[in-house]
Amino acid sequence: MNKLAFFLLGMICSLNAVGQEVYFHNPVIRGDMPDPSVIKIKDTYYAAGTSSEWAPFYPMFTSKDLINWKQVGHVFKKQPDWTVNSFWAPELFYHNNKVYCYYTARQKSTGISYIGVATSDSPLHEFTDHGPIIEYGTEAIDAFVYDDNGQLYISWKAYGLDKRPIEILGSKLSADGLKLEGEPFTLLVDDEYIGMEGQYHFKQGEYYYIVYAAHGCCGPSSDYDVYVARSKNYTGPYEKYEGNPILHGGNGDYKSCGHGTAVTTPDGRMFYLCHAYLKGDGFYTGRQPILQEMFVGGDQWVHFKTGNVAQAKQPVPFPGTFQKESEDFEDSFGGKSLKVEWNWNYPYSDVVTTFKKGKLLLAGHPKKGNLHGTALCLRAETPDYSYETKLVNTNKSVKGLTMYGDDKNLVIWGVSGNKLFLKRIKDNEESTLYESVCNNREVYLKITVEKGSLLNFYQSKDGKEWTSVQDTYFQGQDLVRWDRVSRPGLIHIGDVNEPAEFEYFKTQVKNK
C-alpha cells in the first residue's frame, strides 16, 4: 500500500471516528514475540518480548498509538557472559530517567533459569548487562518490578520445576534497582496446580492487583488464560477472583492468551499487552502480542472492555488512528550490516556475515552436535506468504532457503556444487525429497507457504518465470518446537571459507 493510500485510509478512519467507533484487529505486533512487556516514555510506547533460541536477544519495538509497531533494535546484540540460552520474558521498567530490563536466561554454569538485569539510557540503545539479580531455587523466571510509593519490589515465578505448588515470590529491591534487599516472601500460591506466571502488578483505589497467566503457555496444546488476585497490601495476603479467568480463548479468535503487562494512556485508561496463539492457520505464526483494554469495575475486580473471551476486533485506543497492513520485506544487502528484522540460530551456530558489492556472504561456526549449519531467519507475520532469493552457486557448501524449526528439524531448498535438492531433516535424520542437476552459476529459489505449514518449492532462471518441483504440498506442521514456531530464511552448511552468496531476499504477503 503506497503513502497516498495510507493517507486516504487515515482520512476515512478520522471521518468514521466522528460518527461511529473505529476498530483494529489483533495481533498488533505480528509474528512470534511471546511474553511482551510494554512501557511509555514521554509520547512513545516501547515493547520487548521473548527471543528464546534466536539472536539477537529480546526484540524492541516502538509505537505512537499502541496498534502500529516498528522494530527498532534489540536489548542485547551480544549474549550476556553469564548466560547460555532460553532468553525469556524481558520486563521493561523506567526509573529515574533510566530504562531497566529484567530478563530470564539459563545460567551457563548451572543450566538453571535465573533472572538478570540490564540498564540503558534509552530503549533505542543497547543495554549494559549487570548479571544475575535472582539466583533462587531450581527455577526463577518472569520478573516484574513495581514501585510502591518509592519502595521498589520485584516479583517472580518460583518452584515451577519442583514437586510443590508454584509460587509468585516477592522481594524488596534496592533504590538503584540492581540488587535484592531482605528475604523473599510469598505473594501468591498456585494451590490449584494449574500454573501461575507472567504476573503484572498495579494499584487502584484501596487494592493491589496481580494479573497473571495460568495453565499451559506453549505449543499445540496451549490453554493459557488470564487470572487476577487482589490485596489491600502489596505483600498480601491475596484473594483470587471467583470469576477467573478474566480473559481466555474460549470460543473467540484465539487458542490461548496470557503473560503480559499493561500501560496507562494519558487519559488514564489501561491497555494490556499479552501474547496469544490464533486459532487455525494463524497458530503457525506463533505467540503474537495482542492488545485489550482493561479496567477495574464497580465490584473492584479487573475486567476487559470487550469481555472475558478475547476478541481480535477491538476499538482503536485513540480517535483518528488506523491500523496498517502487514508489509512485505526485502533486503538487497546494499548496506554494511543486517537489517534489524534478521535473527539466527545462536544455540547451534555463531553467524558470520560479510557484505560485498551488494551481496550477502553467509557462513558460520556450528556448535557441537549441529550438523545443519547456520540459519538466518525472519519472524513470519502471516500464515500465507512466499519468500525467495537469488544465490550464486560457486562452491560445494550447501546454500539456499530454509524453513527452520531447530538444528535437527528443518527443510532445505538449495544447491551444492552442481546439484539442486530439497531435503527434509527430522529428528536429525536426513532424507532427500527432490534432486536434479544444476549447472547455472546463478540460481533463483522460492518457497510458498499456505495455511502456515503447507510448503511448495520453486526454481527459476530469471526470477520471473517459476517452475514448481512438487506435485503436492510439503506438510510442515511438525517443524513447530515446544515454545516457538518455525521461521523462514536462508541457510549455509559448510566450511566458513566457502560462504553462501545471496543477492537479495524478499517475502511477499498473500491476499493483502
pLDDT tens, position by position, 476-487: 999 999 999 999
CA angle centred on 162, ends 250 and 237, rounded to 5° = 70
pLDDT of residue 416: 96
327 is catalytic: no
* Cβ neighbour number for residue 279 with a 10 Å cutoff: 15
pLDDT tens, position by position, 165-176: 999 999 999 999
Confidence of residue 349 (pLDDT cuts 50, 70, 90): very high
pLDDT tens, position by position, 219-245: 999 999 999 999 999 999 999 999 999
Per DSSP, 266 falls in state T
388 is catalytic: no
Task: Identify which of 223, 200, 226, 203 has the alpha carbon closest to the alpha carbon of residue 213.
Answer: 226
pLDDT tens, position by position, 403-452: 999 999 999 999 999 999 999 999 999 999 999 999 889 999 999 999 99
Between CA 261 and CA 381 the distance in angstroms is: 22
Confidence of residue 393 (pLDDT cuts 50, 70, 90): confident
pLDDT of residue 512: 63
pLDDT of residue 6: 44
CB 36 within 8 A of CB 49: yes
Confidence of residue 511 (pLDDT cuts 50, 70, 90): confident
Average pLDDT over every residue of 183-198: 98
Confidence of residue 312 (pLDDT cuts 50, 70, 90): very high
Confidence of residue 19 (pLDDT cuts 50, 70, 90): low
pLDDT tens, position by position, 121-158: 999 999 999 999 999 999 999 999 999 999 999 999 99
**pLDDT at 277 exceeding the cut of 60:** yes
pTM over 0.75: yes
Average pLDDT over every residue of 183-193: 97
CB 201 within 8 A of CB 146: yes
Catalytic residue, chosen from 91, 167, 197, 388, is 197
Quote the mean pLDDT of the chain. 95
Domains of the chain, CATH where assigned = 20-315 (2.115.10.20), 329-509 (2.60.120.200)
pLDDT tens, position by position, 69-82: 999 999 999 999 99
